[in-house]
Structures are given as C-alpha cells and as structure tokens.
Amino acid sequence: MRPDEALEALRAAPCGAWALRVLSEHRNAWVVGGAVRDALLGRTPGEIDVVVEGDPEPVARALGEVVAFHERFCTFDVVAPDGSLVDVVMARDERYELPGALPEVRASGLEDDLLRRDFTINAVALDATGELAAAPAALDDLAAGRLRVLHAASFRDDPTRLWRLVRYAVRLGFAPEPATDRLAFEAVQRGALATVSGDRLGAELRLALGEPDPLAALHAAQNLGLVEGLTLDPRLVADALALLPPAPRAVRALLGGGPQPATAATRLAPTPVPPRRDLTLLGAVIPDGGWAEPWGFTAAERRILDRCAALAPIAPARPSAVVAALKGEPIEAVAVAGARGDAETAQRFVDVWRHVRLAIDGNDLIAAGLPEGPELGRRLAATLARRLDGELGDDRDAQMAAALDC
C-alpha cells in the first residue's frame, strides 16, 4: 500500500483522524510502529502510538487526557476524546547495560528511534502529511513477509522480543529470515529468558493469550522453547472455552415454568467478575500435574490455574452432587474439567444449577420456631439439594415444609 493510502487507512482507524489532526500541528510528531505497519499491509490499524522528536508532553496533552507518565522512558499514556488509548513517546536511543535489563535511554531523533525497535516491520513511521520514514530493509521485509531484527544483539538485550517474534509470525503469517531465526534459537539455548523477570515474561504470555489465534501462538512459543510441558489439544481448548458462561442472563426457560418472582430459585447470583478466557485457555493446556512456571501471576490467577490442573474431570451425577462437588471452584476450572469430562453435565452446572436458590432462608426458619445455629444451614442445604434434584418445586410453602421436616 502506498503511503497516501496508508494515511487514509490510519485516518479511518479509531482515534486516527483525531490523532492526525493533532499531529498536523506538531511537525516533530509521527504515528509509529504497529498501526503504520498494519496500514501499509492493508490490515485494520490497531492502537495508535506516537513518537515525538523533542518534548512529547505538548503533543500528549493536545491528544487528550494524560492518565500516566513514565519518567524513565518519558512516555505518556493518553486517553483520546473517543476513549481510545494513545501512547506518546519521546524519540530516543537505547543502551543495555546487561542482557535482559531495562535499557538506559537518551533523547534522540526519529532515525535512532526506529533503529531501537524490535523488528524492521515495526520500524516505520508516518506523519500527518503522509511522509513515510522507515529503517533499512523495513519496507522490503513488509512486502516479503519477513521478520528481521535490527541488530545481532537484539534478543540478548531484550529477550521478550522472542515472544514478539512468535506473536507476529502467527498473527501476520510472517516468517523469520534465516539470520533472525538462528539468533532466536541461539538466544533460547543460551538461557536468555532467565535474564528477564517473571512479571515481564508473564506480560508477554498474556499478550500471546490475547492473540486472534492464541493456541497457535502457544504452539509456536513451545516449538521455540519459550514454554514447555503444555498439552496443546485444540479440541479440549475449544470445548473449555465453549463452556464459559456468557453475560448474565435469565435461566427461567431452562428451568421451565412461567414468570418467577424475584425470590424464585431461578434468581441469578451476582457475578461481579467475568470469567477469564485467557486463564481458561492456559488452564486447558497445562497438564494435570500442574505447571511450575510462576510467570508473575497474582495469587488469584495462580489459584485458578492450580484448580484447572487439579479439578477432576466432571462426571454425570445428580445435580445436587455436582453442585456440592463444584461449589466454590473457579468457573474457569469448571470449564476445563467439563471439557475433560462430561461437557453436558458441566454446561448444566454453568447455565442452571449453580444459580438455583431457595425461596426461603434462615430467617424464615427462625420465624417458624427453629433456634439459631448450624442446624439451620443443614436444613437449608438438604432442601436445596431436593430442589436441585427436582423433588421440590419453586413453591415457597413446599420448601418451608420440607425444611421443617428434615
């Protein structure tokens, strides 16, 4: 695609027209990196990144609300008027004191900034007039579908670029050119990844899980040696993701019957946190014995992954038994266990059984004359089990009678 056509593609992207209008008033500012790459490839540009020769703050504030400033690299996170996130960075040169360490930076010009980037295909910039700047070989590599690092020490300096190599190869359908392929293999063999913190590697893993084809990205990563021990079963992954619940919805039709009162057994429990598709996918490929790598996961994320590995495959059983076995389990782990076992039973638990509630509670039993204490919980649990197993309907009086008769 010609630069003028790429400019129009950028203009049509979210926040693109606004960003280019602002940049037209700042001749030292350029759209850079992935959005320009995608526009030149005829793909829909993604998030807009801007590089500024000199002080980037005036450009950042002209683009929208500055929500974060990263002093070490003189970069700004900006929310544009349409809600899009724009990264505004100072054009810089970088020097790595140690392999895997964060770089030392100094202000520089656009040419140096392009040469510090991960691959030639991302070392491209376009200004508001349509002027295109590119590192050597960048445009040829874009046209040929090649991934090429900009210098021989690239993977040693920043081993997270190994993950980016995998992601771009899968997403774009590009192949590393021979020298880059050899450098990547040598970097892995020499232990380059050990020089990077788990948090940084975890961030790259999360980006891979967010790719359009995350399973292919994991497969490529495992082939290169970035991860190991994963069981990459496409059917299992697809089945697990299919079991995740959609946005909360009524389950009355599944339970049968007409309109229900707000206190009915079909009432949905609140679900403040949506299920994590990325952790479900990762949990589905972690073998049953678990996964030793920390990857900078939080304690909550680690628990989900641990339960994905440990939870036994779901087997057909009475609804009350299934609910008792799965109570308190992360929904991501339930999805994986369902994919490994009986998916129909898992689906009924996810869609219906876990939402069933009684029309009575402990206060009702106390009002009926029962004393406070653990016995109330036992009676309610027994009544709920009968409700789940179809022995009781939604009638409040019938549930009270059953609870009092336990």
Predicted confidence (pLDDT) per residue in 10-40, tens digit: 998 889 999 999 999 998 999 999 999 999 9
Please report the pLDDT score of residue 258 as a whole number. Answer: 35
- The whole-angstrom separation of Cα 343 and Cα 334 is 10
Given a contact cutoff of 8 angstroms between Cβ atoms, the answer to whether 288 and 231 are in contact is no
- The whole-angstrom separation of Cα 222 and Cα 229 is 8
The one-letter code for the residue type at 102 is L
Please tell me the pTM assigned to this model: 0.83
Same fold for the domain at 1-144 and the one at 146-228? no
Given a contact cutoff of 8 angstroms between Cβ atoms, the answer to whether 217 and 278 are in contact is no
- 185 C-beta neighbours (distance < 10 Å), count: 15
- Give start and end residues of each alpha helix (H) in 286-361: 299-310, 319-326, 331-340, 343-351
CATH fold group of domain 146-228: Hydrophobic Seed Protein (1.10.110)
CATH fold group of domain 1-144: Beta Polymerase; domain 2 (3.30.460)
Please report the pLDDT score of residue 243 as a whole number. Answer: 96
Please report the pLDDT score of residue 406 as a whole number. Answer: 80
The 3-class SS string of 250-301 reads CCHHHHCCCCCCCCCCCCCCCCCCCCCHHHHHHHHHCCCCCCCCCCCCCHHH
Q: Rounded to the nearest 5°, which phi and psi values hold at 71?
A: -65, -40
Residue 187, SS3?
Answer: helix
Q: What is the dihedral of CA 315, 319, 320, 326, to 10 degrees?
A: 50
Please report the pLDDT score of residue 336 as a whole number. Answer: 97
In which residue are the tokens 């606004």 written?
18
Please report the pLDDT score of residue 3 as a whole number. Answer: 85
What's the token pair of residue 223? 């082939």
Looking only at the bridges linking them, the beta strands covering 104-107 and 124-126 are unpaired
The distance of Cα 10 from the centroid of its chain, to the nearest Å, equals: 25
What's the token pair of residue 33? 């990196």
- The whole-angstrom separation of Cα 369 and Cα 379 is 14
Q: Which burial class, exposed, middle or buried, applies to 253 when counting CB atoms under 10 A from its CB (0-12, 13-18, 19+)?
A: exposed
Q: What's the sign of the alpha-carbon dihedral 178, 172, 168, 19?
A: positive
Given a cut of 50, the residues of the chain with pLDDT beneath it are 249-271
Please report the pLDDT score of residue 272 as a whole number. Answer: 55
Triad 375, 377, 379: Cα angle to 5°: 70
Given a contact cutoff of 8 angstroms between Cβ atoms, the answer to whether 31 and 13 are in contact is no
Residue 147, SS3?
Answer: strand
- The whole-angstrom separation of Cα 116 and Cα 134 is 12
In which residue are the tokens 């002027």 written?
131
What's the token pair of residue 156? 């040693």
- The domain spans of the chain are 1-144, 146-228, 234-355, 362-405
Residue 198, SS3?
Answer: helix
Please report the pLDDT score of residue 381 as a whole number. Answer: 93
**Which of 257, 301, 219 is CA-nearest to residue 390?**
257
Looking only at the bridges linking them, the beta strands covering 75-79 and 85-90 are antiparallel
82-99 burial code (b ≥16 CB/10 A, e <16): eebebbbbbbbbbeeeeb
